[in-house]
Amino acid sequence: DIDHLNLRVQKELVEWLNWLKADIGFDGWRFDFAKGYSADVAKIYIDRSEPSFAVAEIWTSLAYGGDGKPNLNQDQHRQELVNWVDKVGGKGPATTFDFTTKGILNVAVEGELWRLRGTDGKAPGMIGWWPAKAVTFVDNHDTGSTQHMWPFPSDRVMQRYAYILTHPGTPCIFYDHFFDWGLKEEIDRLVSVRTRHGIHSESKLQIIEADADLYLAEIDGKVIVKLGPRYDVGNLIPGGFKVAAHGNDYAVW
């Protein structure tokens, strides 16, 4: 175990981080198991090494109901993520992985897309509250891959990418999906849409519809994304929009 309260440990870790920055060329940090030490400690490392980007893994359990599924209201869960960023410094480079969105989407794509509109009418994860500080993802080395601890439904992975690559927040792409699953071209198309239309971490999200079999949202008035098996949505798409990407139960205009 590392005693992060030990001043010598702090000094040597800061020196190591600055060496990684200056000599090796790294410019961002990922804080593994960040719930295992205080945000005050993470703040020391960030303030004294000044990365351009930092993201924390704060993986805690969602609130579940008697049916074994996540409650619609996950405010306490996303508040934990917001609190960490607040303590480390909201004006700095600190962000957190949006585990709230991850957990809700895991279930939502199984015929419960209504979950993607929170009780306040916004996105139900951290991206609904503080998208500039939310790093969205489909799976990582813990949840998916060989560990498979909390995997996203494998036949619906591209629906998830259609969501995170069109929505606010900072999306990240899982190595396995891009290089091993044969999804490179589909993911590339979605990345191109995001880049071409300047969608960014604080883009404006308007949820048009959130039903069991349909989620439809407009981002910055430039991009519309549809998830779910419902096919006939033409009456909900404003004139002038053309399909830019599509696949199994998703489309992007």
Q: What stretch of H or E contains 227?
A: strand 223-227
| Residue 110 is a catalytic residue | no
Catalytic residue among 12, 15, 32, 40: 32
- The residue whose two tokens read 């000044």 is 50
Residue from 57, 86, 209, 213 carrying the catalytic annotation = 57
CA torsion angle for 25, 53, 147, 106 (degrees, to 10)? -150
Strand partners, 237: none
Query: Which SS3 state, helix, strand or coil, does residue 24 take?
Result: helix
Instruction: Say whether 69 sits in a helix, a strand or coil.
Output: coil
Three-state DSSP string of 153-218: CHHHHHHHHHHHCCCCCEECCCHHHHHHCCCHHHHHHHHHHHHHCCCCCCCCEEEEEEECCEEEEE
The total number of residues written for the chain in this structure: 253
- Of 160, 133, 134, 137, whose CA–CA distance to 225 is shortest? 160
The reply to whether 57 belongs to the active site is yes
Point out the residues that are catalytic: 32, 57
